[in-house]
Chains A and B, each alone.
Chain A
Amino acid sequence: MNLVSYDDALASYDPVMGLEVHVELGTKTKMFCGCSTTLGAEPNSQTCPTCLGLPGSLPVVNAIGVESAVKIGLALNCEIAEWCRFARKNYFYPDMPKNFQTSQYDEPIAFNGYLDVQLEDGEIFRVEIERAHMEEDTGKSSHIGGATGRIHGASHSLLDYNRAGIPLIEIVTKPIEGAGVRAPEVAKAYVAELRELIKALGVSEARMDKGQMRCDVNLSLRPHGREKFGTRSETKNVNSLRSVERAARYEIMRHATVLDDGGTIVQETRHFHEEDGSTTAGRIKDNAEDYRYFPEPDLVPIAPARAWVEELRAALPELPRVRRARLQGEWGLSDKDMQSVLNAGAVQPILETIAAGAPADQARKWWMGELARRSNETGTDLSEQPITPAQVARVCALVAEGKLNDKLARQVIEGVLAGEGEPDEVVAKRGLAVVSDDSALGAAVDQAIAENAAIADKIRDGKVAAVGALVGAVMKTTRGQADAARVKDLILERLAAEGQ
């Protein structure tokens, strides 16, 4: 299908988005039973009568799950329900042990909030939050024998219920209107900000690559000036920040193409394809789908005490956007520089390096320079480099003390990364200390003056700028271990003394 261009699509239509994000909480046990939530265990080894839905089993609510939900609600500026219930969402699917999902329906634990997200140009866009509610994850189906890994065409399916019952928080936005051409950017920025927030709260690692955070992108278009929303598509399980942006962008173009052709958008779920950024139709969602929600009779209502909610509110960590703004100010960075620090995942290492005694600019210089480059080359996280913030801080201190110059410091960092030990040990082993002993340097300076008589004359004539060449010569003979500033002083002193 030839799609209309993105710009043409936006020339005719306004996109309206709804984002539904599922976050797997990092609780030790499942939402309604005591089974472990550790990833990667032998299939079906982390199950019990309750999460297998065996006849007679009953759920018991995980208190940490509720606490995490309240924290997320508070961080999203939501109201916290004084009284809420779980509800059963009834539908048949083999990976759902009870054939109903214990979720929340018209009484979510948190509702009516917002999250401010910063766009690339620095503008703040407010995304309003409809609700955040608690529910349980389903098991995992693996479809065997088909070409696509989807159920269609498979010869059989395998079911793993280890994931069944893992606590989920579903966070649903209100319709996001007015983002216009920046809708895909807003979607990406929202999910990114939400992820930072979840991580800052310590309730989940929120790794999208591990399925700990999953996003559904609902999107519709309406012609400019029309109030009524168009029919939406629901693109499921878009599982990276980049994909969220691409999926929104693709759907905008696809909808516009269909609408321009005089066609109608079908309300359906769609699958996103990483390879080419396209989506294809999944299940058609007619309005007849009916989950027959009703209050879960096996659980009692939850009534978070106001005092407890206030305690949690008071104990909320500094939220990512506030923290970023504070650090940016403290470090004196431009928006663009701050963005690079964020993109490199360097905030925490820099902070720890500063805490270990290094000046902010030095800490940032090392992590964003040498170490970021290496992390890029090796495709590993900055925090996973074999050097600690304390070690970087020690190198900074050696430079400040004049014991290392920039070039030598680089070699020390290299040594630490190569496993040669602490910075001081590397200095000792490699013999990298700066030579600043005047008597040792004196000979080298005299030699340089003698060998470069013409340059020395220029300096004697007042062209002090020419001193660089002599300093270079000294550095060469000392194999870079001289303190360049000291060398310059010595040369100038020597030549001036001659003139007197």
Chain B
Amino acid sequence: MRYEELDELLRESLQEERAEARALLEGMERSVTVELASRPSAKPAWRRWWGILRRPPLAMRSAVAAGIVLALVVGFLAGRMWGPGGLGLERTAGTMFAVAAPQADSVAVMGDFSAWEPVHLEDRVGDGVWTAVIELPPGRYEYAFLVDGRWVGQDPVADEYVRSFGEYASVRYVEGD
């Protein structure tokens, strides 16, 4: 068969298929229109929302109630801590304590701010740098680190060092606003 003859045959075939499909689609469009016309009209969006607000489902009512309680509790605690006549805590940014101790199993900082009780540092990203952020009101604080139980009194970022009982301790001054 020659190329021109094959091309002609393909064109005819495609035209026949297109004509059949068009007839089918026209029939479908008409039946869908009739079907939709026979259904009752849907409610507008505002009416659907009004219905939900008038009679909310149980889960939504509980969620709203819990949200209100949460807001009240947070407001109450914040007010007690920082409000007038509260606990007298001053809001300051936290003070970072950090030690590079890649081989250590445990690192803690202790000082005037913790009545010399250890506060544990964490190596969050596993790079051997142990950190803790502690909220401190303005003042002067002596402190030292415990690296695997060993006293490390000289923090390179300290404001000064003091020596008593034969050991060094670091000092930070936390300034007010």
Tell whether A pairs with B. no
Residues of chain A having any CB pair with chain B under 8 Å: none
Residues of chain B having any CB pair with chain A under 8 Å: none
